[in-house]
Amino acid sequence: MTYVVKNSGQVAMLARVSPVAVRYYRTLRCVQVVPEACEGSVMRSLWDRVWPKVDMSGGIDACWLWTGALSLKRRKQKRPVIRRGRRDEGTILVSRQVCEWYHGPPPSEVHEAGHTCPDGENCICVNPRHLQWMTREENERHKQMMARRVNTNTL
């Protein structure tokens, strides 16, 4: 990949450099290294990157399904994730971010975005009406209650 190496805002070098050289240049405080493809481009905000990946076709009260990337790392469930920004900044859970946008920051560090979907637990739903802050225990209790309710409705 071709990188642009800037020194004091001016292009000092435009070259193909190895990943080792890129890491070295990034350690220098007076130089900025960016991929040439990113030069002059503006990163869209997280808000602008999230909503195009949500299927809201069911209406305002239906589950809004995430159509973007899914992670299987935690609890062996598919969970909607999106990159924070650049590749090195990691990923975040979309449901947690949406819950924070609509309901404010979590009350404490132990709170997570719990799903209250009317048809039972739907972990790829990102409808803010179906999300609320819950502790792990509250969330597990709610999941069990919804699973019992859904099972009794199908008998």
Residue boundaries of the structural domains of the chain = 2-38, 46-154
State the pLDDT at residue 19: 61
State the pLDDT at residue 56: 92
The closest of 45, 130, 32 to 82, measured between CA atoms, is 45
Say how far apart CA 153 and CA 23 lie, in whole Å.
Answer: 58
What is the phi/psi pair of residue 17, to 5°? -125, 155
Q: Which residues contact 54 (CB under 8 A, 6 or more apart)?
A: 64, 65, 66, 67, 126
State the pLDDT at residue 125: 94
In the numeric block, the tokens 């949406």 are attached to: 98
State the pLDDT at residue 26: 57
Please, what's the b/e burial string for 39-68 (b: 16 or more CB within 10 A of its CB; e: otherwise)?
A: eeeeeeebeeebeeebeeeeeeebbbbbeb
Q: Let me know: does 79 contact 112? Beta carbons within 8 Å.
A: no
Global pTM value: 0.66
pLDDT below 50 — which residues of the chain? Answer: 2, 10-12, 14, 29-30, 36-37, 39-41, 153-155
State the pLDDT at residue 98: 94
